[in-house]
């Protein structure tokens, strides 16, 4: 552990500036300062006030006095960013960080001795906090964004009864770790070859990563850091609910997939044995497909059964370029095709938890017309179709071409994601931008090509849906909206817009879907004002 001698190091304290004194000059990057941390800020740092301005301290806890190294400076020296490197008064909620590369209390030398890499990595910025306290911070963040940005009263039962709920850990091997069924690494050049890498916080220079405890055990056991990934730009590894592993390797545009795939395949065989037997597929695909050189008929290995691949792609090992994901909710089971590089929820328990939440909050009923906006491969589409049945309708809208292709396959007449009761349900799978598609849906409503819309699921990416999309959605006069949010600030902003448009927030739930990071998921139900149901919390 880092030993700091505060008498020999410049360590200002965060006492308030006395009136009439000269303005103090700012901190410099690398300065070591002693600070007392207050509440968590959106983004994972903790607010500390000093005579030189506000400092956002990462790797700290509320109430702790820490010694922190300044890592970045905001405009006009108005605020600073710092990493806690030693703790003077540890919080009882502090625990040892489970990841050497993410532990800010180790010195560069200690991290380098353990892993060969000295830099501190992001991606697990709440790893030093016990899980209950992490959830308390996330509850606070969610409430704050709904109050400050969404305009909800702090006294509203929506706020006072809101708590971020834990995700089930039954499928996890190590409690609140190993929840990621998907991991993405960049590739970095090192003296020993090209290795998987991650970015330190606020850095554009990636460094090698040796292990990542949030990844599923099956993915960690691959020891991907041992592969020399010459010619690869990015690695996306996925573990399916059926235990298959699909690794997409995005090929640097200076190479072709056939050039780089064989050396990597040979290393993979040495590391993992027979890939087909171990159900591991390697899928090499050009970074920018439009620039990819056509490679007619290139099949570097015939050990795996022949599968159709696009020109320029190479598929080895288990021979899969998509996996099947099974999601169960109660007695129901939905199956989905998800391609390499296509969107799927990263927490292994998230798909079933989110489907359950959607069904209990939105309550789609037989015969209803529903929209699934930002639908991905159709996680909610399948459950909506099952609920509305053969007399009902689901319109599923997704913008990414790869993920849209998955949705099309999933909801084809014989698609795997259609349950028995959804065999004849009208499911429109649309590829397009949500805002743009809402204009087409308005026309379809006017032409009676679509029945009145009863219920909407809205699950946008981190930036939220935004004003244009919500205004257009409002013009369709749907009955109720379930907003699934992965960013509390975006949910706060969009809540304010919906309220201005005449919608009431009637129920909200939060989930700790990204343990050991500061991220949090929420589901918020809106009814057209005046609310048709009383705010309450459904368990
Ligand atoms: C948070 S994901 C949710 C996907 C899905 N609901 C699920 O849970 O699996 C958001 C999805 O919206 C898509 N997306 C983002 N912006 C979009 C836009 N403007 N129009 C259409 N789709 C968009 C992304 O490709 C991504 O698949």
Last residue of a domain, one of 62, 79, 94: 94
Tell me, using a 6 A CB cutoff, whether residue 463 lines ligand 1: no
pLDDT score, position 10: 36
Q: Is residue 252 part of a domain?
A: yes
- Whether residue 75 is found in the same domain as residue 196: no
Q: How many domains does the chain have?
A: 2
pLDDT score, position 18: 37
Tell me, using a 6 A CB cutoff, whether residue 398 lines ligand 1: yes
Question: Higher-confidence residue: 327 or 294?
Answer: 327
Is pLDDT of 199 > 50?
yes
pLDDT tens profile 162-177: 999 999 877 777 778 9
Sequence-separated (6 or more) residues with CB below 8 Å from residue 14: 33, 34, 35, 36, 48, 49, 50, 51, 55
pLDDT score, position 305: 34
Is pLDDT of 11 > 80?
no
Q: Is residue 80 part of a domain?
A: yes
Tell me, using a 6 A CB cutoff, whether residue 492 lines ligand 1: no
Alpha carbon of 34 to ligand 1 centroid (Å)? 43
Residue 386, SS3 per DSSP: helix
Q: Is residue 441 part of a domain?
A: no
What percent of the chain clears pLDDT 90, i.e. is strictly above it?
82
Element (H, E) at 28: none
pLDDT tens profile 453-489: 999 999 999 999 999 999 999 999 999 999 999 999 9
Is pLDDT of 214 > 60?
yes
What pLDDT band is residue 235 in, cutting at 50, 70 and 90?
very high
Tell me, using a 6 A CB cutoff, whether residue 406 lines ligand 1: no
| b/e burial code for range 466-499 (CB count within 10 A of at least 16 → b) | eeebbebbbebebbbbbbbbbbbbbbbbbbbbbb
Known binding residues for S-adenosyl-L-methionine: 345, 374, 398, 459
* Angstrom distance (rounded) from CA 268 to CA 272: 6
Tell me, using a 6 A CB cutoff, whether residue 434 lines ligand 1: yes
Tell me which of 22-26, 404-408, 521-525 is least confident.
Answer: 22-26
Indicate the top mutation candidate among 398, 402, 405, 458 to test ligand 1's pocket, ranked by most ligand atoms within 8 A of CB.
398
Q: Is residue 496 part of a domain?
A: no
Q: Is residue 444 part of a domain?
A: no
Q: Is residue 336 part of a domain?
A: no
Q: Under a CB-based contact definition with an 8 Å cutoff, are residues 364 and 394 in contact?
A: no
- Whether residue 216 is found in the same domain as residue 313: yes
For the domain that residue 187 is a member of, what is the CATH number? 2.40.50.1070
Please state the atom number of ligand 1 nearest to the C-alpha of residue 377.
Answer: 9
pLDDT averaged over the chain?
A: 90
Tell me, using a 6 A CB cutoff, whether residue 379 lines ligand 1: yes
What pLDDT band is residue 538 in, cutting at 50, 70 and 90?
very low
Alpha carbon of 460 to ligand 1 centroid (Å)? 5
The residue whose CA is least distant from atom 18 of ligand 1 is 433
Is pLDDT of 160 > 60?
yes
- Whether residue 317 is found in the same domain as residue 189: yes
- Whether residue 208 is found in the same domain as residue 318: yes
Alpha carbon of 397 to ligand 1 centroid (Å)? 8
What pLDDT band is residue 537 in, cutting at 50, 70 and 90?
low
Range of the domain at 239: 182-290+306-322
- Whether residue 209 is found in the same domain as residue 314: yes
Alpha carbon of 512 to ligand 1 centroid (Å)? 20
| Whole-prediction pTM | 0.90
Q: Is residue 386 part of a domain?
A: no
Residue 198, SS3 per DSSP: strand
Residues forming the active site: 486
Is pLDDT of 58 > 60?
yes
pLDDT tens profile 371-428: 999 999 999 999 999 999 999 999 999 999 999 999 999 999 999 999 999 999 999 9
The residue whose CA is least distant from atom 25 of ligand 1 is 400
Helix axes 401-410, 379-388, angle to 10 degrees: 30
């Amino acid at each position: 552990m880092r030993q700091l001698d505060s008498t020999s190091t410049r360590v200002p304290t965060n006492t308030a500036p006395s009136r009439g004194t000269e303005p103090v000059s700012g901190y410099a990057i690398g300065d070591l300062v002693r600070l007392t941390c207050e509440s968590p800020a959106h983004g994972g740092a903790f607010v500390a006030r000093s005579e030189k301005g506000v400092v956002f301290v990462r790797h700290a806890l509320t109430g702790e006095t820490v010694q922190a190294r300044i890592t970045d400076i905001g405009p006009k020296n108005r605020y600073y960013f710092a990493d806690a490197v030693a703790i003077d008064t540890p919080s009882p909620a502090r625990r040892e960080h489970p990841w050497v590369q993410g532990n800010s209390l180790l010195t560069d030398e200690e991290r380098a001795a353990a892993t060969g890499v000295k830099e501190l990595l992001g991606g697990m910025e709440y790893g030093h906090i016990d899980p209950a306290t992490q959830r308390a911070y996330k509850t606070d963040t969610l409430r704050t964004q709904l109050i400050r940005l969404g305009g909800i009263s702090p006294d509203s039962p929506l706020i006072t009864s809101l708590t971020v709920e834990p995700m089930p850990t039954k499928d996890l091997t190590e409690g609140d770790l190993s929840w990621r069924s998907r991991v993405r690494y960049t590739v970095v050049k090192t003296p020993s070859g090209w290795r998987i890498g991650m970015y330190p916080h606020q850095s554009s220079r990636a460094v090698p990563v040796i292990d990542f405890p949030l990844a599923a055990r099956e993915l960690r056991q691959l020891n991907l850091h041992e592969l020399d990934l010459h010619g690869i730009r990015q690695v996306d590894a996925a573990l399916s609910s059926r235990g298959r592993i699909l690794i997409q390797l995005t090929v640097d545009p200076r190479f072709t997939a056939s050039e780089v795939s064989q050396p990597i395949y040979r290393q993979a065989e040495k590391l993992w044995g027979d890939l087909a037997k171990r159900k591991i597929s390697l899928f090499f695909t050009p970074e920018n497909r439009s620039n990819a050189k056509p490679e007619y008929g290139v099949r570097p290995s015939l050990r795996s059964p022949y599968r159709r691949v696009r020109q320029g792609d190479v598929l080895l090992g288990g021979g899969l370029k998509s996996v099947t994901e099974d999601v169960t909710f109660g007695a129901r089971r939905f199956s989905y095709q998800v391609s390499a590089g296509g969107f799927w929820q990263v927490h292994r328990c998230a798909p079933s938890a989110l489907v359950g939440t959607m069904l209990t909050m939105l309550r789609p009923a037989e015969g209803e017309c529903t929209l699934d906006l930002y639908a991905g491969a159709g996680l909610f589409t399948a459950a909506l179709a099952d609920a509305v049945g053969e007399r009902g309708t689901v319109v599923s809208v997704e913008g990414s071409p790869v993920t849209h292709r998955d949705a099309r396959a999933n909801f084809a007449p014989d698609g795997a994601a259609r349950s028995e009761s959804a065999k004849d349900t009208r499911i429109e799978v649309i590829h397009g931008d949500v805002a743009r598609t809402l204009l087409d849906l308005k026309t379809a409503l006017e032409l009676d090509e679509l029945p009145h819309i009863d219920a909407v699921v809205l699950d946008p990416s981190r930036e939220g849906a935004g004003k244009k999309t919500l205004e257009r959605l409002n013009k369709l006069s749907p009955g109720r909206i379930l907003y699934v949010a992965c960013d509390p600030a975006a949910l706060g902003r969009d809540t304010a817009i919906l309220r201005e448009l005449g919608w009431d927030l009637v129920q909200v739930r939060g989930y700790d879907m990204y343990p050991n990071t500061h991220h949090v998921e929420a589901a918020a139900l809106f009814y057209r004002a005046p609310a048709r149901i009383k705010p309450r919390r459904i368990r």
